Amino acid sequence: MRIRYDMKKLPTGSWCVYDIITGAIAKYNGKEVVGLNIVETDCMVDRLNMIHCNGFSRYLH
């Protein structure tokens, strides 16, 4: 699987998913993927990378 998204901890203590190419916080269905706990963030990283690899990137705006 091609990796496009990863996770990082924010100064607030919450986590976000970010685009490793642009450095921007990832969006899913128009909303930034931020403020999650570590388990939720890990699941979203997997989900967004799968969406990206399967060519359904229209959901990532």
Contact by Cβ (8 Å): 7, 45: yes
Strands 15-19 and 27-28: unpaired
Q: What is the pLDDT of residue 53?
A: 84
Residue 4 pLDDT class (50, 70, 90 cuts):
very high
β-partners of residue 15 are: 9, 36
How far apart CA 41 and CA 55 sit, in angstroms, is 21
β-partners of residue 6 are: 18
- Average the pLDDT over 10-38 and give the result: 95
Give me the domain span that covers residue 17.
Answer: 5-60
If one counts the domains in the chain, the total is 1
Contact by Cβ (8 Å): 49, 59: no
Q: Between 57 and 48, whose confidence is greater?
A: 48
